[in-house]
Structure 1
Amino acid sequence: MASPAQPASPSRTGVAERLLALLAAFDADHRELTLAALARRADLPAATAHRLVGQLTSWGALEPSEQGRYRIGLRLWEVACLAPRSSGLRRAVLPFLEDLYETTHENVQLAVRDGVDTLYVELISGRSAVVVRTTVGSRWPLHATGVGLVLLAYAPAPVQQQVCAAPLARFTAHTIADPARLRATLAEVRRADAAVSDRQITDDAVSVAAPIRDASGAVVAALSLVVPATANPAPLIPAVRMAARGSSRALGYGVFHSVEGPLAEQG
């Protein structure tokens, strides 16, 4: 965490950069921040942060809480909902997510790749389903989740190399932390056109995921079913694949595309 700085950081010389730094101070673990915390996390002088937070609040990007902290405002959410990778994808895929949920009453998730992160854009969860740590808008490393493994398996080679070359974060004793094992797992994902993430994030959950393709055949998203670790994931794979292929058809992926085509290109 950056320490407070009196002069503006060299990377914070522009107004837009400073505004973005303040917004980037928020994440899944920091949903509400005091003005002092905002200034510290954005590496901005307190006076500058105070002025810019006022502007962001006036526009609706931030809103004050009853405790005097700041949180992301609804205006920013409205703008974010216009992102085509989220809004158009969600509209096309949601019926298939709902069907999968109604069939299983387990957690159903939809995610896209953003750089070397898995970004979750939809989640349907039942009261009796296993508790998951993911939320809409949360990010997780690609190597540690079912959807992440799918997205990484079909990502460009430089992305795969970047992930395998970096330290692989470990969340449980089952998390893939060895690059060679990760590469072998990605090859298996491409072969099976599905992924099983066994207790990689928590010890009580297993994820089954499959790729979603657009009209060109490119993998643009992945959906998953998260079930208790005591469940056998094998019988769930066909249902997850079916939901993913239905989603792909909704995005324009036609019957003239063979599964072997994209797999051969990616592998």
Structure 2
Amino acid sequence: MPRTNDPGRSVSSRVFDLLFAFGPDHSALTLAELERRTGLSHATARRLLGELVGAGLLERGADGRFTIGLRLWRLGTLAPHTESLRTLAQPFMEDLYAALKQHVQLAVLRNDEAVIIDRRSAPSAVRVVSGVGGRLPLHSSAVGKVLLSHADAARIDAVLARPLRAYTPDTITDPERIRAELAACRQTGIAKVRGELTPGVDSVATRILDSSGRVVAALSVLVDGRRVHLSAAEMTLFASGLGISRLLGWRPGVQARVG
């Protein structure tokens, strides 16, 4: 156990211990779990966590668990890789938006969730649950399924071993059905959801690859499923994903990597 209560340690080092306690397999932690992972006393951990939540660097859910906050995430988007991805994707997103007049969003994998790092939205487009900086579940969002399908087997097993929330009556929560969808996505590079996250909202997403074939992001279009069919967006979206991938160094013949 770390000796984080050593009187010689600074407050900032204890704050860093709390923040770095989070990771891909520990994206939501209780106070007790953070105490065990950092070695901080109950009083110290509670006080510092309160300050981090107040500053927006962490968030505390209704279940009492802490997660990375929006302000900390926004700071992370200033990292060169994320910012360059957004910059390269911007013209393609604007073209998709101009052509379809629907929500267009770009997401990356963070701590077993899909995080929206950019979006284009029309005022008349269907209402959706999250904006830029919002987190989407991997099992019931199109971008989430694209990102999860190209993750390593251990991550897929871990995500599907948890209780999967049914956000709507159409949410697929059967792990075997989801595995079949993920396998299909690895073959086609496309994932679709129909009303799984928000009633009446359908989405199609495609992968974005880097020069080595690693899936670094997912690009999606969200539509009102009662008025717009996903097929109207699918091929244009797929071509946009390839275009962004080319700017990241991908070339035809480089296979999408898993893991």
Same fold (TM over 0.5): yes
Q: How many residues align?
A: 228
Aligned residue among 172, 177, 180 for 1:176:
172
Task: Structure 1: state its 5+ residue gaps.
Answer: 1-9, 25-38, 63-71
Q: 1:123 to 1:11 in 2, by over 3 A?
A: farther
Change (3 A) 1:17 1:234: farther
Q: What SS does structure 2 have at the residue aligned with 1:136?
A: coil
Q: Which has the higher helix share?
A: 1
Gaps in structure 2 of 5+ consecutive residues? 22-30, 36-41, 59-68
User: How far, CA to CA, are the matches of 1:112 and 1:182 in structure 2?
Assistant: 19
Aligned ranges 1:1-267 → 2 under 5 Å = 13=5, 15=11, 16-18=13-15, 21=18, 45=43, 49=47, 53=51, 79-230=75-226, 231-254=228-251, 257-258=252-253, 262-263=255-256, 266=258
Distance apart, 1:52 and its partner CA:
8.7
The one-letter code of the counterpart of 2:244 is: S
Partner Cα separation in structure 2 for residue 98 and residue 181 of structure 1: 34
- Shift of the 20–199 alpha-carbon distance from structure 1 to 2, 3 Å rule, reads farther
- 1:245 is paired with a residue whose SS is helix
Q: 1:204 to 1:21 in 2, by over 3 A?
A: farther
Q: Which has the larger radius of gyration?
A: 1
Contact 1:212 1:221 (C-alpha < 8 Å) held by counterparts: yes
Please identify, of 126-135 and 188-197, the stretch whose mean Cα deviation from structure 2 is larger: 188-197
Please report the RMSD computed on the Cα atoms of aligned residues, expressed in angstroms: 3.7
| Dislocated runs of 4+, deviation >6 Å | none
> What is the distance in 1 between the residues matched to 2:57 and 2:17?
11
CA separation in 1, counterparts of 2:121 and 2:193? 18
Q: Secondary structure at the match of 1:226?
A: strand
CA distance change for structure 1 residues 239 and 19 in 2, over 3 Å: closer, same or farther? same
* Residues 117-175 of structure 1 deviation map (CA, whole Å, 9 limit, x = unaligned): 11111111110001111121121221110000101111111111111222112101111
Whether the 8 Å contact between 2:73 and 2:133 is mirrored in structure 1 is no
- Which amino acid counterpart does residue 247 of structure 1 have in structure 2? I
1:210–1:47 Cα change, 3 Å: closer
Q: Relative to structure 1, is the Cα distance of residues 179 and 95 closer, same or farther in structure 2, using a 3 angstrom cutoff?
A: same
For the 8 Å contact 1:122–1:136, the answer to whether it is kept is yes
Q: Which amino acid aligns with 1:164?
A: L
In the superposition, the TM-score normalised over structure 2's length comes to 0.74
Indicate the SS of the match to 1:144: coil
Retained in 2: the 8 A contact 1:19–1:52? no
Are 2:74 and 2:133, in contact at CA under 8 Å, matched by a contact in 1? no
